[in-house]
Structure 1
């Protein structure tokens, strides 16, 4: 059965490029339904898309249809993916805030499928803090964003705002469609972010973790159909949509949350940067200055990954992370065996593009019998890669149980 792509086209000079995207998708066997805003019809004729798709192009919410169905609802139900290419700043603002005042935004709001948005606009409009905030909220809602490119724009400016390459957008669409049910029915637990250990009512010790890696893994797992639980330390990130969030503060908090949730999970990914030690005593009042030095005694925090390894169920796959500054492979391999993990993701803090606070990572995937070093990639793409490797491990376990 053909998969249905709903293609939304908004007003802008890049609208003509969506016709090429439409043609490419049809050639690959997809059924494409096109919805245009009224402004988009000023840049490209609906007849172009009707000739390509053999479907009527929808513009008005109240167009008469032969079968008397509620058109925006019926199309929303059939859609396997809804893409807006190009997406204007106006339409992005509407879909973020639930404004449904035309056929495109009404159908988008009614659709429950995967959604992809490819912005294209003037540089200053794209860089405006309001647009930046709206795009950030789109990501939090679970929409895939294909960022625009830097280049010469129709307005004469040179900067970021040019529609991303059509071939790249097409690849992202196909990737999302292929991944749709890969983890359907699976329960995934992800830990993310730092932990904080109180010294007194004012101060705490922590680390530089931003939580980005764990959040992107959770988002990728959700996009692949999994039921995701995210246990997160304090971060400045929006929770991914449709993910069960459990906020925690300290390492003991995280240990408690993991113990309460791990038993029913199929996949557990420990991406959090958990503090190894905590102060033995938390002062009741603010510690005042007292001489040139201050001595605080620390005690060891529970080893959450070791606990999971010791209590691992037969069907479970456990993946840990190893952040190192030296002897990366040796230390990661030792951690894999010692903690009874199925896989370790190792990265060196000193490698450019890897580590804390970045949007990218450079990782080595270590299993019991294989080591694979990956190129620098976005943390979302690394999250998908990790999950694909985990799927391979699950298949191997399934095969072994059959034998």
Structure 2
């Protein structure tokens, strides 16, 4: 159980909140590269940590991240023209570069005036098929953290964004909760469950393809430079061997989930207190297609996902599209990993009150997420550096392997102990 006060501290991310102060110390994904498909394409309106911004790609292909409202008279730059090296406000034609430099002020055509001005712009960069921005204090700008997927060949990587109308922490906790995989994702995790038989799922792309039928994993947790990692140990037919599923938590909201042949890096970026942009990056040593991942996640059905605006669109209006008749053969009456995860997160409400829950040992990683984030917030409030700033994360991954008795689970991913500053 979490106190109501601590719940508020963790979940509120707007300006002036303790959680917001923590979040503003990190680089955040703000859109996928595919959402800005070419130079001078339409800009995007972005909500991040309770505030509105505009992101655009200029004539040379560089990305810019500015406050949404024009510094002149407050019109939205998300409606603006992107042309000739900048973004131009429709209202009076003021034009800004990706750095915020004032390029033109047509209704006051004095170059000296424009030279003295600068629009509120923020550091932005493009890596791994994602546009990232930093909106915290410039004097505290951290180095950029480097994930393994950023080095992957484009054909071996898929990047998706899924906007979900609930608080980020509900989705983070779901992702760090190993015991839910064998239950919520029963049809993918434990094929044959209807006949009380376990048949391993042969899909090497599916992160819910468990190698064990054990629904009560034993958890062991260890703090790391990037946050923590934990192992969920499941029984196998051989009493001397257990299945070990290792998952990291990367402060403030990242995780990596193993599939047999791929890694799923998931970043739960808070738009505000009750909306989250989930970035899912799938990468491995072999080609993978967006269509395959969209189908696996259940997002190929338009009643669940609007691919144009990246919104998870199912809701209580249609009971999330749940098919009760299908539940005779399908555990949830839903189809797809992300559809099941997002539906459960939404079912908890826009911002879940954790003071009413009852936890069990299988929830240890969820408790550790909260503890690590509360400690990070405390550090920021005391003007100390929070964890996981500017790290080289290329050695951080996840795995699902067999572990013989007497073998240290940490040895499965030795790169976790060697994480250093980027």
Question: Normalising by the residue count of structure 1, what TM-score does the alignment of the two structures yield?
Answer: 0.27
For CA contacts below 8 A with separation 6 or more, give which structure has more relative contact order. Answer: 2
TM-score normalised by structure 2 residue count: 0.26
| Bigger Rg, structure 1 or 2 | 1
Which structure is higher in strand share?
2
